[in-house]
Structure 1
């Protein structure tokens, strides 16, 4: 696959290797947003059907991306909102505990921490191995071995958001299914750039913010809730999430029946007439590219980085065990992180610092030149 820089509007003189922070807008996404803003200028352009039909189209597209039916998809304003909807409906039995991986994203950790406090349950944190080599395999095995019939819920990201560790989601999901442990996955840092199948991995809830690898706008995301959540309690009671909401003439009958599937978990005003078309345009482009192709393209880009780490004897896991679109490089003790990040920024190379790791996160708008400029500065600081 060739680079797709022509579909973006990034300045030619910057080296943006920071998609894990925020994706740039595709030209098609910006155009969809501009057209949507113009459309809202005249309310007569918005029909009653527009409150529901575009949302169903978006859910269908997301379903194709993760192998789920549109009926089990909900539109959410943020990952934390989607996580709370899922965790609030996890049943608890006396003496059960909850599981989460170490240094998980704050929204995931804090949401599960609240659930534990409300139920008086222990929160068990699953730390990574000290070794960098074999990290993904050893960590996944530790997670699997920690899941028991007393584990009410496991919350984790599909890859580790700080360093890109690829967890064995299939084996983890199978263990959760055997022990009746609710498996909640934050897919924000992988869905759209890495293939993920909720059926194959036996995921009970998958939560995704839309502004990173889904290439969409901020404050809009998507979530999958399996059938086990179909009778759950939503965070809010929006009129739009009721079975007969599309018939505006019957609104004051106050129907008690929710929309089928995961419809009850939609955020109020989910038919956002400006941001929803933008996310739709983004996911259409991702489906055209295919996440597997995106991952392979990034893998080729990142090969020189892993060669550099090997040559300089910097411990790391194998390239097959780290996501190619998000790779955390753990710096040797003699490298000054602040000085490195400052020089990268001066040279218009944009990455993220997460702890003692430099997070490099490329996409199809990047080329080998971006990696070369990054490595030239990085290797200088190793010396």
Structure 2
């Protein structure tokens, strides 16, 4: 499966274990971007006349990939834009459940508005903590990351479906930025009401593109307010009551969103099952070695659901030493965050283990 590394020239220079910070740009996506900008250079508005048609293709590609009807897919530049748009669509005051120390772009955005905010702790009893808070506080919304950005702790889709089954009126708003692209995700079967993600990490689509997936029932419960010339432009907007159009008010960059389509086509060509299998293989090796060396928080080792993201014990000196050996990671929280994708290999992990003396 080493052929999965082809098309990522950065891997010839570095041991790249940092997808949780920034995914790589595949050669196929780079080639699309080169061709697109050459067309724009030569054709200008003649290319942009086809913008609506191209964006429709992107929307349909995203919808098919995640099993969400295209008329419930909104294209956005990044997670934060989409999430803040949703928050502005909620009548206030409302009670919102968050996870304590979740990704700042979630918690800061909620806390900066006139919501009643309650928190569930992230620890060995995470799922029980969430259920307890929902039963006791009866929030109207629960906003959360499917995968935690610092340590890879993951909420299973089965658990989210359980929440939706037990609390059908609770609106689940999920950040999938650290999740989408790691395994097959069926939105309509997930129990999630609104899923939002940037695509520059595990989707390997570059910066400036993302998406939102909506459950049919959400349209009557939030009222998006953004509006612009782009709100009615395109196949799925005018006849759909302009709901998704209110998340797409402006002119869109066909370079960035075309990159998303190209990235999904690459994933489809490889096979999401193949990608997931490779990731699962590597993360099991990494977790076992890190655990044996005592580099992980003990409570995280008790969890069955975890992503290919680990926070190992280490300081800035160790981080810089790894970087000096061409091993790319991130300083996050109280340690060093290591993450592995399908283009990584056991050899990459061996280089890391050797550098860590474990």
Aligned twin of 2:71: 71
The CA deviation at 1:227 is: 2.1
- Please tell me whether residue 328 in structure 1 is matched to residue 316 in structure 2: no
Whether the aligned pair in 2 keeps the contact of 1:241 and 1:266 (CA below 8 Å) is yes
Aligned position for 1:155:
143
Moved over 4 A (4+): 255-261
Unaligned runs of 5+ in 1: 130-134, 248-254
8 Å contact from structure 1 (residues 100, 109) kept in 2? yes
* Contact preservation (8 Å) 1:97, 1:122: yes
Q: Does the residue aligned with 2:263 lie in a helix, a strand or coil?
A: helix
Kindly provide the CA deviation profile for residues 208-234 of structure 1, in whole angstroms up to 9, marking residues without a partner as x.
Answer: 112111211212111112223435543
Tell me, what secondary structure is at the counterpart of 2:112? Answer: helix
Q: Say whether 1:142 aligns with 2:123.
A: no
Q: C-alpha distance in 2, partners of 1:43/1:64?
A: 30
CA–CA separation in structure 2 for the residues paired with 1:139 and 1:64:
32
Instruction: Say which structure is richer in helix.
Output: 2
Counterpart residue number, 1:191: 180
Q: Does 1:278 align with 2:259?
A: yes
Q: Which runs of 5+ in 2 are unaligned?
A: none
Tell me the CA shift for residue 191 of structure 1. 0.5
Contact 2:283 2:307 in 1 (8 A): no
Indicate conservation of the 8 Å contact 2:74/2:248, yes or no. Answer: yes
| CA-to-aligned-CA distance 1:296-324 (integer Å, 9 cap, x gap) | 20222233322323433453415742113
Confirm or deny: 8 A CA contact 1:73 1:263 kept in the other structure.
no
8 Å CA contact 1:227, 1:261 repeated in 2:
no
Bigger radius of gyration, 1 or 2? 1
Cα separation, partners in 2 of 1:11 and 1:246, compared to 1, 3 Å: closer
Query: Deviation of residue 140 (structure 1)?
Result: 1.6
- Offset of residue 235 of structure 1: 4.5
Paired residue for 1:304? 285
Report the Cα distance in structure 1 between the residues aligned to 2:260 and 2:234, rounded to whole angstroms. 22
Q: CA deviation at 1:152?
A: 1.2
Aligned position for 1:250 = none
Query: 1:173·1:183 contact (CA, 8 Å) conserved in 2?
Result: no
Offset of 1:31 from its aligned partner?
A: 0.6
Helix, strand or coil at the partner of 1:141: helix
Distance change >3 Å, CA 15–CA 319, structure 1 → 2: farther
Aligned position for 1:12: 12
Alpha-carbon shift at residue 200 of structure 1 (Å): 2.0
Correspondence 1:239-254 to 2 at 5 A: 239-242=229-232, 245=233
Secondary structure, counterpart of 1:188 in structure 2: coil
Shift of 1:293: 2.4
Counterparts of 1:357 and 1:205, CA distance in 2: 31
What is the TM-score with the length of structure 2 in the denominator?
Answer: 0.89
Distance (Å, rounded) in 1 between the aligned partners of 2:234 and 2:278: 43
Helix, strand or coil for the counterpart of 2:110?
A: helix
Kindly indicate whether the alpha-carbon contact (under 8 Å) linking 2:227 and 2:245 is maintained by their aligned counterparts in 1.
no
Count of equivalent residues: 350
Instruction: Find the aligned partners of 1:157 and 1:337 in 2 and give their Cα distance.
Output: 26
